[in-house]
Amino acid sequence: VIQVLVVGSGIAGTAAALAASRAGARVTMIALGPGASSLAGGALDLAPWDAHGEAAPDLEEDALAVVDALDAFDVRGPSRIVATLAGILRPARGVDRALLDLGPLHDATVWVPSVDWPRWDAPLLARFWSDSAEAGARRLVFMTAPAHMIERSEELAMAEADMAALHDSPARIAWLASRLEEGKKAGAPAASAVLLPPWLGLERSRAEALALAVGVPCGEAMSGPGGPSGLRFERARDRALAASGVERVLGQVTSLAYDGAWRATLAGGAGGEPLAAFDAVVLATGGLLGGGLAYRPMSGALAADPRAAAAPLLTATLDAPLLVGMRGAPLRPPSSLFGGAPESHAWPFAPGSLLERGGVLVEDEGRVRGAPRGLLAAGEFAADAPRTWLSALSTGARAGRAAAGA
């Protein structure tokens, strides 16, 4: 049996582990903790969403099998429309099932229940959503009317994720449904959907159970960083990995070396027994947020040590036979000690620039360029792929499948 090591437990690492395991490999996953995947808000894009409308390829079978194993997201069918807490409606290729998909609604009234909870300004949000171009095109009206959705006063101080955890209880969902029925009858009888704060479950989405009880589609607005959607992803991942028999180790991989098989070194203390030798390794350590890549402008290095030599701005944080670059070419040290101005490396000042595209150079299926056989990279750690959730899932699934055939 092929032994595969996956480093990283974001969506790319999860997809790699599930795909490799589905292809018959024995999989070990080592990860340090949460990354970008645990902070995303539940809208799943393949291309960045402001590039929607451009033809995006279909998801491959392995990627769809990962989505099915997670059993928490909808990606099939037409593009979705979600409402964000920043007050806009935006398209998404897929969604966390707790989010309300406005895509099927036209000529409709959406009820945004107002409630005395500090982080949900229903009148303001409803006004922004109604005024958005997408609402105009679909003739959607967002209206408010009160609903008594707070049971105990301490809930007023709770964060969204804690409110979502309360709604894991079927009794609380039944209570919420009865409050919504009352509020709808009194203030929003014509509403054809209910758009709620991001409260609808932490273990799993409770939106469907609520919709069944209320009789119209109910769902969350897209949460901001640290909201319940990222935590629901973690729960779905943990269930899927356990069901597929992936062994998990908490730890930080500091280096990888090849001597006919791949061997990983873990940061001190976390390791215990030395790890077995692996036939293939998928690096899914994320980008700047996940910790796989580091941004080191020379101004910082020079402030710490005036003798510092110029070095590339972006580096991998673990030691392995790989090259960091973009557009197929390795990065070189800047010709000036200070490098370029920071804004020349980042969106929105410079679209398609280093911080959006830089990463480990890979060939087909995510094989790390120039590395011995069996080293792959996926997700935000790999160069030149969109920094999106579904891109990380797709590249992860492809790398996992390739690793299992190593």
Ligand X SMILES: Cc1cc2nc3c(=O)[nH]c(=O)nc-3n(C[C@H](O)[C@H](O)[C@H](O)COP(=O)(O)OP(=O)(O)OC[C@H]3O[C@@H](n4cnc5c(N)ncnc54)[C@H](O)[C@@H]3O)c2cc1C
Q: By the criterion CB under 6 A, which residues form the site for ligand X? A: 7-13, 30-33, 35-37, 39-41, 43-45, 225, 252-253, 284-286, 289-292, 317-318, 379-380, 387-390, 392
* Distance of alpha carbon 353 from alpha carbon 340, whole angstroms: 12
Q: Which residue number, 165 or 283, has a Cβ lying nearer to ligand X?
A: 283
Smallest gap from Cβ 251 to ligand X, in A, equals 6
* Distance of alpha carbon 377 from alpha carbon 134, whole angstroms: 37
Q: Which residue number, 48 or 340, has a Cβ lying nearer to ligand X?
A: 48
Smallest gap from Cβ 241 to ligand X, in A, equals 12
Q: Is 300 exposed, middle or buried (0-12, 13-18, 19+ CB in 10 A)?
A: exposed
Smallest gap from Cβ 86 to ligand X, in A, equals 11
Taken in order 215, 221, 227, 231, the sign of the CA dihedral is positive
CA 37 to chain centre: 3
CA distances from 236 to 76, 96, 120, 250 (A): 18, 11, 27, 18
Q: Which residue number, 39 or 75, has a Cβ lying nearer to ligand X?
A: 39
Smallest gap from Cβ 280 to ligand X, in A, equals 16
Smallest gap from Cβ 187 to ligand X, in A, equals 31
Q: Which residue number, 94 or 113, has a Cβ lying nearer to ligand X?
A: 94
Q: Which residue number, 87 or 334, has a Cβ lying nearer to ligand X?
A: 87
CA 319 to chain centre: 25
- DSSP run (H or E) holding 70: helix 61-70
Smallest gap from Cβ 47 to ligand X, in A, equals 9
Q: Which residue number, 75 or 392, has a Cβ lying nearer to ligand X?
A: 392
CA 31 to chain centre: 16
